[in-house]
Amino acid sequence: MKFTATILLLAAATSNAFMPQATPFMRTNTVALNAEVTVASIKELRGLTGAGMMDCKKALIETEGDVEAAIENMRTSGQLKAAKKAAKVAAEGQIIIKSDDDGAVLVEVNCQTDFVAKDGSFLAFAGKVADAAIADKPTIEELKEKFEEDRVALVAKIGENIEVRRVQYVEGEKCSTYIHNGGKIGVVVAGSGDDQVLKNMCMHVCASAPQFLSPSDVADEVIEKERKIQIEVAMNEGKPEDIAEKMVAGRMRKFAGEIALKGQPFVMEPKKSVEEVLKEKKSDITSFIRLEVGEGIVKDDGPSFAEEVAAMAGGN
């Protein structure tokens, strides 16, 4: 019996030696791309993370289609999160004003939502940026570079895009400042005379948003552009061209005063101009700056999912 069993084992071993050996299955990157990274998986990851289509595709390629592993990689990458959030429009935020003996600075720092604009970490960051601005008077490019690492870290912590957008400096014998609506609008007026008068002028600038200091400062091209617009409006109302031009000539004499601070009716005493009030109070204004959060930013909801898929397909 032992001899028979030994013969059988030797026969089995001999036959196996001459049979083709199976090689281990190795999945190539091409197979992983085609089999694992699908539009459905990209859409799933996008819905779970809020990341862009191309970011999701890249993350899934790196993990061979493993959604959970892709999420973990994205969570541990603050740089990736900051890059993803950078595509979001930051039109909320704060205007921060700091002043010293030489003047004042206004800094606009943006985020995406009003909720984050009131967050302690965001306000602390904005305050640090403004402190650096008043101390060293850097350009906006220098200010952005100085705080880029802090900005990226805050984006990773808060989860919204954050931008240091603008910095403006005001110099003068005396500077008065005003913050409106919790930091939505910031105004600095430089001048001389009564402190309360200058503070009231800050509130006037906040409410009336003048574009120039004096009517004489209004550029000729600004007046000419407005004149052409007003003539066209009058002619569209049926007025002959010669009559329209005479009507507009009268309007244009008021136009420069309407957009210049000293020519505007003072909000607290509308029967007097700002210039008249300043003379009465033996005060003067030499310059001013008004910044409003988000002004000039075009909000865009971004491409739809279908548009992102089409763009991704086109990129391939």
What tens digit of pLDDT does each residue of 291-306 get?
999 998 866 555 555 6
Angle of helix 39-49 relative to helix 67-75, nearest 10 degrees, comes to: 40
Of the chain, the end-to-end C-alpha distance in Å amounts to 68
Q: Which helix (H) or strand (E) holds 105?
A: strand 103-111
In the structure, what pLDDT confidence band is assigned to residue 142 with cuts at 50, 70 and 90? Answer: very high
Whole-model pTM: value is: 0.67
181-204 pLDDT, tens digit per residue, is 999 999 999 999 999 999 999 999
DSSP 240: -
For the chain, the farthest-separated pair of C-alpha atoms sits apart, in whole angstroms, at 129
Residue 307 burial (CB count, 10 A): 11
Q: What tokens appear for 248 in the block?
A: 């507009």
182, HSE (Cβ side, Cα atoms, 13 Å): 9
